[in-house]
Chain A
Amino acid sequence: DVKVTQSSRYLVKRTGEKVFLECVQDMDHENMFWYRQDPGLGLRLIYFSYDVKMKEKGDIPEGYSVSREKKERFSLILESASTNQTSMYLCASSSGQKGNTEAFFGQGTRLTVV
């Protein structure tokens, strides 16, 4: 079974802290994504990556950065956490092979910034 693992299920951080959310997948997928989930807004794409050291901005990249030094790991970084970044963060991966479109998700990290 494909497994996408997020390092924390719940996280509480203080305003101004640098926050790292880690995501690891075990299926050798090329594509990895970070989404933010908020009630009434669904999932919004923050950043994505098609390959090691590659990254592309999604729809809401402000206040975030990412790192992909290894194929299996994709990290989301909040440079200086703010209360409006309190949210659920979901990591996903997909194969990128033609016709293979299914995305696999981690269980999410519920981040609270106080």
Chain B
Amino acid sequence: AQTVTQSQPEMSVQEAETVTLSCTYDTSENNYYLFWYKQPPSRQMILVIRQEAYKQQNATENRFSVNFQKAAKSFSLKISDSQLGDTAMYFCAFMKHRDSGGYNKLIFGAGTRLAVHP
């Protein structure tokens, strides 16, 4: 069975600074997807970034980037130039590849609550 661990329940950062959220996972699969989802106070869960395990290049989306270390089963999220609107719960999630019979099920970590301060 797959598991996802987020070891930082809460973090805080000053506006305009950089913060890194940690995530580790456990799987015997070779091909899979990893995600970071954001849940702001409005409760609307939004996809931040996605990484495909067979791609060595780390994914980036504007101020958001990941450090994907497949051998270490680590998938951290870096937020650059933090903004007040980045304040949210951040969830790391794992999905088996479709060819593995994963049926698009997401397995989530416990989440990290990020507070961005002015």
Contacts and interface: CB of A to CB of B under 8 A. Distances in A.
Partners in one complex: yes
B64 interface: no
A94 B95 CA distance: 12
Interface stretch (A14-22, A62-70, A102-110): A102-110
Contacts of A107: 42-44
* Chain B interface, DSSP helix/strand/loop, else mixed: loop
Interface string A50-78: 10000010100000000000000000000
Interface residues of B, number: 23
Interface residues of A, number: 26
A103 B104 contact: yes
B103 A48 contact: yes
A48 B50 contact: no
Contacts of B33: 101
Interface of B: 4, 6, 9, 33, 35, 42-45, 47, 50, 91, 95, 98, 103-111
Interface of A: 31, 33, 35, 40-45, 48, 50, 56, 58, 88, 90, 92, 94, 96, 98-99, 101-103, 105, 107-108
